[in-house]
Amino acid sequence: MKAAVLYGKEELNIVPDFEDPVIKESDVLVKSKYTGLCSTDRTLYRGFVPFKPPLIIGHEIAGVVEELGKSAKGLDVGDHVIIPPVFPGCEDENCPACKEGLTNRCKNSVFIGHGVHGGDAELIAVPSKYTFKIKDSVPLEEACIIPDAVSTPFHALKSRSVPPHIIKNTLNSSKLFDQKTHWLKGKNVVVFGVGGVGGPTVNLAAKYFQAKNVLAVDIFDNKLDFAKKLGATQTVNSKSYFEENNIKFNELTGRDKAKAISGLARHISSHFAEDKFQVDCVLDCSGVSDTFPMAVETVSKNRTVIQVGWPPKPVQEFLNQKIMDKYLSINGTWACPMNELDENVKAVEDGIVDLDLLVTNKDYKLDSLENAIHDLEAGKILGRATICIE
């Protein structure tokens, strides 16, 4: 089969005759049609994270069922499907994380396109129970971003945003997590970083979880314009804010830097003056270490900050007493549990997620994957790019 194979740092080859995958009895063989391009693909390509070569990359996958293993269930040949990038690798989901419902944090998690061969190839074999059918009406060139770019913020907003004391003091706390009565409904949300993951975060917060206000923060005006199309009610260009106030942020340290961050946070919350400047949830999708202190400073007391984007560098000069003083819940998030993916797929099928807007670049082929990675690095991809395998 034809496949994009990483043999080492910046050694990405399009191999015409890579060995076909062998399916197990409970697997399905999927003909990969489209994959989404993620920053993780870039970090693998640049050698920023370890991997065992040769490796077929690509972990946002949509395709068509080609063949069923003997004991595969719930699918038929010809079904359109998506494949989650992270799924359980333990037997019968019996590890502590899986038993607690965190199938996305299984002790033996399988990470497609990193730990095992991914979807930037003509064929991929995956367990049938972790392969999710999607209606043919959803274009596969857009459906491929659901497994990661959409499902990751979906899980963050749905399950990681509610402060523990709210859950404890609510009689029927399950309603806090239902879409129609979700805790975020009518609340104020701030999203730092509008890109491949931040865009879907804005879109989901506004359209699916029905936040009253969704304010997007970025340093590029075109991304903030993009956020408005996705449902952002307000935007803030943090770079412009610092420039207009004659603040050379990158040169600041200590108290001066803390003061600048505090000023930006007040500027952001001033957009919610009619709600007494209340910021109920901040999601950091930027992947930039300096943004975390801004998120902590921006969120209101007794509320939640969620780290969604992967920050490659540690936070410098951050006073974590602020977390104590504001009584904050600081939550990480990672992929999406299997038991939330069906709801995610239905949200897409019902048209509550604007996939057509989120996928901004649809012209890349497998042969031009390396060019796509370079374009991602150069900031030429506004939202999410997809790769046509054929």
If asked whether residues 299 and 343 sit together in one domain, one would say no
Q: What is the pLDDT of residue 158?
A: 98
CA distance 288 to 68: 43
Torsion, Cα 362 385 336 42, to 10 degrees, reads: 150
Residue 321 near residue 328, CB atoms below 8 Å: no
Sequence-ordered list of residues with C-beta below 8 angstroms from that of 29, at least 6 positions apart, any chain: 21, 23, 65, 66, 67, 68, 123, 124, 125
In terms of residues, how long is the chain?
Answer: 390
CATH number at residue 381: 3.90.180.10
Q: Which amino acid is at 28?
A: V
If asked whether residues 181 and 120 sit together in one domain, one would say no
If asked whether residues 98 and 138 sit together in one domain, one would say yes
Q: Which amino acid is at 361?
A: N
Structure tokens at 376: 């991602």
Q: What is the pLDDT of residue 183?
A: 98
Name the β-bridge partners of 216. Answer: 191, 235
**How does pLDDT run across 73-125, given as a tens digit for each residue?**
999 999 999 999 999 999 889 999 999 999 999 999 999 999 999 999 999 99
pLDDT, mean of residues 248-258: 92
The answer to whether position 154 is within a domain reads: no
pLDDT, mean of residues 218-231: 98
Compute CA distances 172 → 154, 162, 166, 187, whole Å: 22, 14, 11, 19
More confident of the two residues 322 and 317: 322
Residue 203 near residue 291, CB atoms below 8 Å: no
Residue 200 near residue 36, CB atoms below 8 Å: no
CA distance 116 to 134: 24
If asked whether residues 225 and 203 sit together in one domain, one would say yes
If asked whether residues 65 and 189 sit together in one domain, one would say no
If asked whether residues 179 and 326 sit together in one domain, one would say yes
The answer to whether position 153 is within a domain reads: no
Q: What is the pLDDT of residue 264?
A: 98
**How does pLDDT run across 7-35, given as a tens digit for each residue?**
999 999 999 999 999 999 999 999 999 99
Residue 251's pLDDT band, with cuts at 50, 70 and 90, is very high
DSSP labels, 50-67: ---SSEE---EEEEEEEE
Which of 280, 277, 275 is closest to 166 using CA atoms? 280
If asked whether residues 9 and 128 sit together in one domain, one would say yes
Number of domains in the chain: 2
- 26: containing domain: 3-148+336-388
CA distance 151 to 170: 26
Angle between helices 254-269 and 291-298 (to 10 degrees): 50
If asked whether residues 196 and 104 sit together in one domain, one would say no
**How does pLDDT run across 125-138, given as a tens digit for each residue?**
999 999 999 999 99
Share of the chain above pLDDT 70, in %: 100
